[in-house]
Structure 1
Amino acid sequence: MDWRSVTFDWNRARAFLVTAEEGSLSAAARALKLAQPTLGRQVEALEAELGVALFERSGRGLRLTPSGHELLEHARLMGEGARALSLAAWGQTEALEGEVAISASDAYASYLLPPILKRLHAAEPRIRIEIVVSNDLSDLSRREADIAVRNVRPTEPDLIARKVRDAMARLYATPAYLDRLGRPGLAAGYNAADFIEIDANNSLMRLLNTQGFSLDQANFPYRCRNFTVMWEMVRKGMGVGILDDRIGDADETVERAVPGFEPIAFPIWLVAHRDIARSRRLRVVFDALADGFSA
């Protein structure tokens, strides 16, 4: 059969693929930013076009039929091909203009990115930057962002990474708060202090207790997974928090807490899709970020 004579609607195949991956029409509709009835019609149209049932209802979700399982891998291959085509088309330009999406955590997006991007804009004013604020890993293969600032090295084979520095996380509090505590010089003197936890797994408490502290849940009256909000709580004198020392040391409203505390080292990686080599615009932004974070 001549492939040029075949007519096929990729939107329907994409609707099938995302519905299979998400497990329900409602979740797939949110992922594709479509109305659920529209998505449902696309799946039904593909079933009618192929002459097979792709899903059967199971409780509140959908379950693939045997035919659906058999065709899913073909749909995935089509999806990878479509993404590769999109990435190649996006990258085939040498013009230093257009949009670049950068994914970064809330703290880095708030405190470290702005001066870097200000210098970049002065040098290349036709490049527009979108900041994707997320403390989770953005999927660069799916174009959730073009470049990501991460604290872990990627393992995906289609991504490249450059380690720009080893950062140090330290404990901070306001001078007034430390004065109220009596400015203890040892970790044991902080048994009556309030700390701000940064996740639901009590990771900060466990970390500090390995360094001579003796803390329990009573020492953590606040928990916040947003570093920017946590930092504002520290600045308001609500307790002790931990943050990258490039941010903490630059803030005149706080100072380092706990003399002798061993800072926590963690890497900063810049990550991008391998197709960055085809786009001068992306390379310029990537290099500007590398220079800014490593300075």
Structure 2
Amino acid sequence: MADLAHSLDWSLLRAFVAVIRHGSLSAAARALRLTQPTLGRQVRALEEQLGEALFDRLPSGLRPNARAMALLAQAEAMDQAAAELSTALAGNPDAPSGTVRLSSSEIIGTRVLVPILGDLAISHPEIEIELSISNTYENLLRRDADIAVRLDRPAQEEVIAQRVGELEVGMFASRAYLKRRGMPSSLTDLGQHRMIGPDQDQRAMSIIMERRGLPLSRGLFTFRSDSRLAQEAAVRAGIGIGPIRTFEVEDDPEMVRVLPQGFVERLPIWVTAHPDMRHARRLRVVYDAVVAGFRARFK
């Protein structure tokens, strides 16, 4: 067995692992960018080296037998070690690598953060990204996320935080809606219009309306959703008037700002991170890229 371990062709081991992972010769061949006959020959060659069958040949394809499943864990470990060695030899051993988890609201996350992360993926392919899209704040100190983009200053004093810009929110309507219903001339006129707003989570809108002396009630909104994307889509569809982050519609001629002097809300943008960011290169690289990206976008 020792002689076999030294003489084993690792490409055959890779073929064995791929067939089990992907469930068929055809799927494994696509994953490895090989032809199906070539992969089949590699599987047979491995079985010949071991002196025993690893798969049952069925009309539906290959089915790993008990011996194959017993070898799988060790084979996967060897395959992973070979992949890591290949990466180290081909790349920069000093390059930051590993997983970084970020958290952001859906509008900021999808419209701003993802493009920034796209550029980062090109310059630092060794870093893996997990992005949690949620309008609720995740606890950085509890490591729910490594980095978060938020629209108010974090309450946890221990976290690292930088203010990177300002987000403006205004009231908007589609041209089609205003053609049907007319343009409101004052904030109080909004009560005579179809309004788009929150469903269950009314805290942020309540604060905004109270600043303007307007009472907030669920009945004020004829279209309700806690999704900012759904609110924006409703405004674009001509359902009514609703709050939108101005950067989302700045190049859309069909969207019209309503009461631009009477309704202007500016929200600070903060990029926050767990204190470990100072000591983990992958976290520092991602944090610096996010800060620079937001500052460039929201000068």
Query: Is TM (by shorter chain) over 0.5?
Result: yes
Partner of 2:292: 291
Q: Which runs of 5+ in 2 are unaligned?
A: 1-92
Which whole-Å CA distance do the structure 2 matches of 1:277 and 1:209 have between them? 40
The equivalent of 1:127 in structure 2 is: 127
Tell me, yes or no, if the aligned pair for 1:99 and 1:130 is still in contact at 8 Å.
yes
- Cα drift, residue 213 of structure 1: 6.3
Q: Cα distance 1:264–1:102, how it changes in 2: closer, same or farther (>3 A)?
A: same
Give 1:283's aligned amino acid.
R
Q: Secondary structure at the residue paired with 2:192?
A: coil
Letter in 1 for 2:246: D
Aligned 8 A contact 1:192 1:219 in 2: no
Q: Is the 8 A contact 2:95 2:126 kept in 1?
A: no
Structural mapping, 1:73-88, within 5 Å: none
Match of residue 179 from structure 1: 179
- Over the aligned positions, Cα root-mean-square deviation in angstroms equals 2.6
Amino acid at match of 2:181: L
Written as runs of structure 1 = structure 2, the 5 A alignment for 1:116-265 is 116-200=116-200, 201=202, 204=205, 207-208=208-209, 211=212, 218-265=219-266
2:162–2:270 CA contact under 8 A, matched in 1: yes
Distance 2:242 2:98 in 1: 39
Residues in 1 aligned to 2:246 and 2:179: alpha-carbon distance in whole angstroms: 21
Pair 216,99 (structure 1): closer, same or farther in 2 beyond 3 Å = closer
Change (3 A) 1:293 1:216: same
Could you say if the C-alpha distance between residues 250 and 95 of structure 1 is closer, same or farther in structure 2, counting changes exceeding 3 Å?
Answer: same
**Gaps in structure 1 of 5+ consecutive residues:** 1-92
Shift of 1:273: 0.9
Q: How many residues align?
A: 203
Shift in CA distance, 136/224, structure 1 to aligned 2, threshold 3 Å = same
Q: Aligned pair in 2 of structure 1 residues 95, 202: CA closer, same or farther (>3 Å)? A: closer
AA aligned to 1:262 is F
Q: Is contact 2:199–2:218 with CA below 8 Å preserved after alignment?
A: no
Query: CA 1:268/1:209 → structure 2, altered by over 3 Å: closer, same or farther?
Result: closer
Q: For structure 1, which segment, 227-236 or 247-256, has the greater mean C-alpha deviation from structure 2 after superposition?
A: 247-256
* 1:206–1:271 distance in 2 versus 1, CA, 3 Å: closer
Shift of 1:216: 6.1
TM (normalized to structure 1)?
0.61
Q: CA deviation at 1:140?
A: 1.5
2: distance between equivalents of 1:215 and 1:136? 21
Cα distance per residue 1:67-101 (max 9 Å; x no partner) = xxxxxxxxxxxxxxxxxxxxxxxxxx963222211
Label 1:252 to 1:140 Cα distance change in 2 as closer, same or farther (>3 A).
farther
1:172–1:284 CA distance, 2 compared to 1 (3 A): same
Deviation at 1:275, TM superposition (A): 0.9
Give the letter for the 1:172 counterpart: F
Larger radius of gyration: 2
Check the 8 A contact 1:150/1:268 in 2, yes or no: yes
TM-score, scaled to structure 2: 0.60
Q: What SS class does the counterpart of residue 191 from structure 1 fall into? A: helix
Deviation at 1:129, TM superposition (A): 1.5
Aligned to 1:34: none
